[in-house]
Amino acid sequence: MKRILLIATGVVVAAVLALFLSGSLVWWMLGLGDHLVIDGKAVAVAPADPAASTGWRSYGGDPGGSRYSAATEITPDNVKSLEIAWQFQTGAFKGREDVIGRTAFENTPILVDDKLVLCTPFNEVIAVNPGTGAEIWRFDPKIDKTQRPANQFICRGVSQWRDATAVAGAACATRIFTGTNDSRLIALDAATGKPCGNFGTGGEVAIHPSISLRWPGEIQITSAPAIVGDTVVVGSAISDNLRVAAPSGVVHAFDARTGAGRWTFDPVPRDPADPASATWTRGSTPTEGHANVWSTISVDEKRGWVILPTSSPSPDFFGGLRPGDNRYANSVVALDGATGRMIWHFQTVHHDIWDYDLPSQPGLYTITIDGKPREVVAQAAKTGLMFVLDRDTGLPVLPVEERPVPQGAAPGEVLSPTQPFPPKPGNIVPDRAKPEDAFGITGIDKAICADLIAKTRSEGLFTPPSEQGTLMVPFTGGGANWGSTAYDARRNLVVVNMNNLGHLIRLVPNDKDEETMELSEDAEYAPMEGAPFGMTREILVSPLGLPCTPPPWGVIAGVDISTGTIMWRRVLGTTRDLAPGGIEIETGAPNLGGPSITAGGLVFITAAFDSYFRALDVETGKELWRTRLPASSVATPMSYMWEGRQYVVVAAGGYSNLDSRMGDHVVAFALPKAK
């Protein structure tokens, strides 16, 4: 995965200088620099969303993940005056300096009464003053730093719950729930940060895996728990591609007061009476695992439902032992929050062998169609596609077509002949690369990339993995990832950021010794034990270390969700902090984290690995403001009003797997105080 930062190589200075001197190519790339308006029509502005608030009570702003603040103080006219209001350093790496290379600071704080509550990659939960950043309390669950997490040490967020039966001011009347990297669910008193002793054992519940783990940390909880009524729901992140018979991705629900288990849901149907089990096997109970929910679960408070984004089955790149569509993997799944009963499901990838999880929180939005409100679920995907579903039924609101996809898989594989495609909005980033599309600074560089692409299978989205080598576009990080979408109900506008890179995937017969394989320095190898193949993957790059797929390598777009029209699309990210010497060209950059929107008419986003914090005009995507952060930020910003002042807050701490600038900063911005 380190090859994602491909332009951060010693040869990039020469490459960028060549690019800068190449005239037409520079103008081609920078022509996307501000924004590209498609079907340039005026955006109809609806009344403000009455459900929006000037607080930020959930990881996604609200339980449905709109990432929208009704605060209006900061506007396109004054955003250039933003300044740092306060900074807070978590101190997370004190005594843990040796594991800084296994962390990602992806946290978005929440506003709980008179406190801003956040978590560190090691699951320390910290409350600070919303106006000053001064620490109020801290809780350390004492994560074992020697464990090997499934991904990295990560905590994206915490959740709050208010006990309607509790006496005002009583201990744990308001609780903070957090999941941990060692699969515990912990309840804390929001006032003091002390564990709620009547929850589980000493304030925590341990979640046990379905089978023995290969190492501590093979399963972890990385996303904020979902709260529906008085039930707490958590998913899990599981290490990919190790084995066929892997831990199952069971979703667990607990009583918010006592910690008693309420229900579980396994996205792999084990009961032969479940009609979906026939989509997994040739007549026996499925033994595969995963299909876990590692991203953020959405909550429909009115219906009392949880909406799950499920992931791919084990292993990711060979499914011959699980013939069929493999429902409920790679699906949006609605469950009754009180019982776990399934209400509906919609699958976005049949029989996934591409690691195309549903990585983002399902957006529970109320859109306007023909002047009437319609409650929907908007799901952004790694494939670069977006699905818009009816909230009650799970049926598409914007049409979805089953289209034929490339066939001719590896021996023993059983592909789906078709896959679901929404014509609108269609591909937000490209889904293929041909030899003539190859990117190169020089004619030689470009020719080598063209030859590399020509040697792979590269037939567009859903080209199956192969021994020959298959070029997957978008790469396995997406398209969209866990940063999710933001929604402006006044404009029917969904904003989403995506990557535009390609992965070279190669299947390797499992009778071949890994030590004898010819792997490049940065290729990843995974055994996929129990399958006839292992796999390797790496970013397809030129000898200069640049992607062979053409830029921009990171984009952000605004989509009218009522019609599926892409209203604007622009480059996201520069070579700053990636190229030696700080040379800055707007090529777009790999990005993680997501956008937020404010009623003042702004989109705030970090995400790109160039350590910039940006504000865009929500109607056009034009960049209005940017500033440097003390470290790379792969977190989603949040905003709130506090004592008459609007704050925009973002975590800046980096993503170690991608060699970005690391730190432990939480930075708050605001307009200057009136004198």
Q: Which residues are catalytic?
A: 355
Q: Of 128, 136, 149, 140, which is closest to residue 94 (Cα–Cα)?
A: 140
Q: Strand, helix or coil at 582?
A: helix
Name the helix (H) or strand (E) containing 611.
Answer: none
Contact 335, 398 (CB under 8 A): no
Q: Of 477, 525, 668, which is closest to residue 84 (Cα–Cα)?
A: 668
Q: DSSP readout, 214-267?
A: SSTTSEE--SPPEEETTEEEE--EE--SSBSSPPB--EEEEETTT--EEEEE-S
Contact 456, 450 (CB under 8 A): no
**Dist. CA 463–CA 440, nearest whole Å:** 24
Name the helix (H) or strand (E) containing 14.
Answer: helix 12-21
Other CB atoms within a 10 A radius of the CB of residue 113 amount to 13
Residue 556 CA to its chain's centroid (Å):
14
The CA–CA distances, whole Å, from 453 to 11, 125, 142, 384 equal: 22, 47, 47, 20
In the chain, % helix, strand, coil (3-state, to 5) comes to: 10, 35, 60
Q: What is the DSSP letter of 644?
A: T
Q: Tell me the sheet residues that pair with 342.
A: 335
Beta-carbon contacts of 516 under 8 Å, excluding residues fewer than 6 positions away, are none
Contact 67, 485 (CB under 8 A): yes
Q: Tell me the sheet residues that pair with 503.
A: 472, 539
